[in-house]
Structures are given as C-alpha cells and as structure tokens.
C-alpha cells in the first residue's frame, strides 16, 4: 500500500500506524505511558493465569475453549468516515467493543478517508489472511467486487450496500430506514406546533431521499398540512455547517428537525438548543439524548452496530449467508429510539406529557409496520 492508513487498535486506539507489509512513512506512535500500561496489564494477566492453574469444571473449560477459538478470528473494519461522528461509525465502534468483551476478538479498525486508500485497505487485509473484512457504505462495492474472487476463504461484509455480488463469500446489508423515518414523521408532527419540519442530510442518494419522503408521509398522517424542507449539508462531518443550516431551518419556521447527517447533526442540535422557542431534534444512528434532553426526542438507528455484532456471532457459530440481507423494523435491526429521560434538564410537565403521548402514537404506528397493517414504500421521487 503506497499511502498511510490510520489504524485504530481497539485496545489502545492508536492512530497513524500502518498495516503489516505496508511502507511506514513515519506515522505517530502510541504514547510511551500507554504502551507501558498495556505491558503491565499483560503481566498481571499472566500472574493471574499462573496462580489459577487449578482444575476447572468441565463446562467452564468448554466455554473458555469456545471463546479462545473465536478470539483467533482475524477481523477488520474499514470506514471511509472518521470515528467520533456521533453516528454510524461510533455505533459500529460500540459493537466492536461488545465483540471484544463477548468473544475476545480484537477488530482492527482502519479509517480509509481518502478514496484512493479504500481499495488498498481491502486488499491489504485480504492478503494478510483476515477471516472477515467489514466495509461501510456503498463506495466499497467496487473494491470488494474486484478483490473478493481472489480470496474465497475471506468473508466480505458490506454494511449499507445494496448490490448482490453473487459470490459465496460476500454479503451486503441494506437498510429499509424509510420505515423508521415514517415513524419519525409521526413523532415529529405530534410534537410540532408550526407544522413546518426540517430535514438535514449529509448527502443525497436513493435511501436518504426515500427516508425524507417517508418522514413527510408519516408526518402527514398526523397533520395533513405538514411540510418538510430538506437541506443537503454536503458533509457528514461538519458540525459548523450543521449549525448554519439548522439555524436556517429554524428561521424558516421549522420546530422539529430530522437529521441524516452523522457528525454534522451535532451542529443542528446546538442550533436547536440555542433557539428562542422549543425546537426538537430527531437524530440519526447514535443516542444523542444526553446532549440535549429537552431537545432530542428520538434517534433513527439504522442498526449498523447490530449488523456487525450479529454477523460475527453467526460466523462464530459457523453460519454465513451470502447475498443481500435487508435490515428493517420487522426484523428488529432498525429502530426509532425514544427516551424515558426526555426533559430531564428542566422541561415543563406539560411538555413531558405531550412527549409521552407522541411516543405512544409513534409506537402504535411502529407496531402497525411490524404486523403489516402499514406498508412504507421506498419512494425516491422528487417532492
């Protein structure tokens, strides 16, 4: 690989290293005290192991053996978006921690932020004999299409991709997020006084447009006159831009804003907090409630983290299904998350009661989607 990739070791979050077998161009090393701490922890673990050489019950030995076998899996996750996005990447990073805790698997995480690095990253991990390589977002489809045939023993898992590559070692996970977006519209319209809703996105593709249209459709079941103004911030990583467009929507009368913009959404939340009246936010792909308990009324969780965790669990159990797997409300992967702690920073009892009623109405619609009474189509038309 010609260019440096930033690798995050899940144990110490080291940035600026390079993959084995790649040229090292002087990336930053981990602080010395961090490295020392890792060595001391390892020593403590060895002492405990030596002290615990007593015979274990048979079931404990079998459980440890299974965990040991799982921990030998070589797993990588390649993201084109930086960690710290308070969105899809951070949702996956939480799952990476769960994988480590539950299976002892250390997932190697690479930020391949430059498009020219992305194919190199996939090929490097495949060449090094990794058992499972996870990628995030549609831009990895072509690199995987090109590389996967040469590495039939490596499983390639594409998160947020819709292409069936018809290879036994490749699976794509697509997300019917317009279902939860429809429910978000119900929640938004139930909380709105103006009937004017906002939608801030970081990019426009078929899925994001379908989410926006479903948001409007859900809102209009509550208020037939509800409108949605969508603004493309053209970035998933620009809170300043998020605040700018958030303020623009608020100035236009929007009192509930639905985001599909990852880290850019943080600026939208800040704009809502600083607004003179009540402005509410439905965020995306992470729990934002702690940032603004009286502003954040929900988060649309596609389920990226659950996808990684569940896929590794299946592989550990000896199961792998190729093709395209759709994540939705029906299979419980995608959820609209609401919060019991809404208003904990001083909202009025009246507002809390209004929110409780809005959540109840929203949950009723979610159940209707689950049991088939309500069908949310993927509508990518211009509105």
pLDDT tens per residue, range 52-110: 443 444 444 444 445 557 789 999 999 999 999 999 999 999 999 999 999 999 999 99
Residue 337 belongs to some domain of the structure: no
Residue 378 belongs to some domain of the structure: no
Rg, C-alpha atoms of the chain: 23
Question: Are residues 291 and 260 part of one domain?
Answer: yes
CA–CA distance, 274 with 131 (Å, rounded to integer): 48
Q: State yes or no: pLDDT of 28 exceeds 50.
A: no
Q: Which residue has the tokens 């790649």?
A: 22
Start-to-end CA distance of the chain, whole Å, equals: 44
- What's the average model confidence in pLDDT over 355-363? 98
Contacts of 81 (CB under 8 A, 6+ apart): 87, 88, 89, 111, 113, 136, 137, 236, 237, 262
Question: Tell me: the pLDDT tens digits for 143-177?
Answer: 999 999 999 999 999 999 999 999 999 999 999 99
Residue 195 belongs to some domain of the structure: yes
Question: Are residues 91 and 11 part of one domain?
Answer: yes
- Residue 265 CA to chain centroid, in angstroms? 14
Buried b (16+ CB within 10 A) or exposed e, 5-37: bbbbebeeebeebbbeebeeeeeeeeeeeeeee
Final residue of a structural domain among 145, 175, 205: 175
Question: Are residues 245 and 116 part of one domain?
Answer: no
Residue with the larger pLDDT of the pair 69 and 200: 200
Average per-residue pLDDT for the chain: 86
Residue 315 belongs to some domain of the structure: no
Closest CA to 184 of 256, 246, 241: 256
Strands 335-337 and 296-301: antiparallel
Question: Are residues 39 and 149 part of one domain?
Answer: yes
CATH number (domain holding residue 354)? 3.40.50.2300
Final residue of a structural domain among 146, 175, 204: 175
| Structure-token pair, residue 79 | 């993201």
At 170, give phi and psi (nearest 5°).
-130, 130
The predicted pLDDT at position 67 comes to 55
- Residue 350 CA to chain centroid, in angstroms? 33
Residue 314 belongs to some domain of the structure: no
What is the pTM (predicted TM-score) of this model?
0.81
Question: Are residues 243 and 219 part of one domain?
Answer: yes
Measured CA distances, 66 to 53, 99, 377 (Å): 19, 14, 43
Closest CA to 138 of 210, 218, 81, 188: 81
Question: Are residues 158 and 11 part of one domain?
Answer: yes
Residue 322 belongs to some domain of the structure: no
Question: Are residues 289 and 159 part of one domain?
Answer: no
The H or E element spanning position 57 is none
- Residue 78 CA to chain centroid, in angstroms? 13
Residue 313 belongs to some domain of the structure: no
Question: Are residues 185 and 166 part of one domain?
Answer: no
- What's the average model confidence in pLDDT over 250-276? 97
Range of the domain at 164: 6-47+55-175
Final residue of a structural domain among 150, 175, 200: 175
Domains identified in the chain, total number: 2
Closest CA to 165 of 185, 146, 189: 146
- What's the average model confidence in pLDDT over 294-319? 96
Question: Are residues 114 and 17 part of one domain?
Answer: yes
Question: Are residues 193 and 73 part of one domain?
Answer: no
Question: Are residues 283 and 221 part of one domain?
Answer: yes
CA–CA distance, 276 with 278 (Å, rounded to integer): 7
The predicted pLDDT at position 354 comes to 98
Question: Are residues 161 and 257 part of one domain?
Answer: no
Residue 377 belongs to some domain of the structure: no
């Amino acid at each position: 690989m010609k260019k440096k990739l930033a690798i995050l070791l899940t144990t110490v979050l080291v940035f600026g290293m390079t993959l084995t077998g790649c040229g090292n161009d002087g990336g930053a090393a981990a602080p010395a005290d961090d490295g020392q701490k890792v060595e001391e922890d390892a020593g403590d673990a060895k002492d405990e192991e030596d002290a615990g050489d007593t015979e274990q019950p048979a079931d404990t030995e079998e459980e440890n053996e299974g965990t040991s076998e799982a921990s030998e899996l070589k797993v990588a996750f390649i993201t084109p978006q930086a960690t710290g996005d308070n969105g899809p990447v951070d949702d996956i990073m939480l799952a990476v921690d769960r994988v480590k805790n539950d299976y002892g698997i250390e997932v190697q995480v690479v930020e391949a932020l430059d498009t020219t690095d992305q194919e190199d990253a996939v090929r490097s991990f495949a060449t090094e004999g990794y058992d499972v390589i996870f990628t995030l977002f549609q831009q990895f489809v072509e690199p995987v299409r090109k590389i996967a045939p040469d590495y039939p023993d490596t499983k390639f898992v594409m998160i947020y991709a819709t292409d069936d590559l018809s290879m036994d070692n490749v699976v794509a996970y697509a997300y019917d997020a317009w279902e939860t977006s429809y429910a978000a519209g119900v929640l938004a319209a139930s909380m709105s006084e103006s009937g004017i809703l906002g939608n801030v996105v970081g990019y426009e593709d078929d899925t994001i447009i379908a989410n926006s249209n479903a948001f409007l459709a859900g809102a209009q079941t509550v208020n037939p006159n509800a409108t949605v103004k969508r603004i493309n911030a053209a970035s998933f990583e620009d809170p300043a831009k998020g605040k700018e467009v958030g303020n623009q929507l608020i100035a236009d009368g929007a009192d509930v804003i639905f985001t599909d913009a990852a880290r850019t959404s943080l600026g939208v939340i800040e704009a809502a907090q600083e607004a003179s009246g009540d402005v509410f936010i439905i965020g995306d792909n992470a729990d934002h409630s702690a940032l603004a308990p009286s502003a954040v009324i929900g988060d649309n969780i596609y389920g990226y983290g659950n996808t990684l965790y569940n896929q590794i669990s299946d592989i550990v159990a000896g199961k792998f299904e190729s093709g395209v797997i759709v994540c939705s409300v029906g299979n419980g992967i995608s959820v609209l998350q609401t919060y019991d702690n809404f208003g904990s920073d001083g909202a009025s009892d009246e507002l809390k009661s209004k929110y409780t009623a809005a959540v109840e109405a929203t949950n009723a619609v979610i159940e209707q989607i689950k049991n088939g009474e309500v069908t949310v189509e993927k509508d990518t038309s211009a509105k």
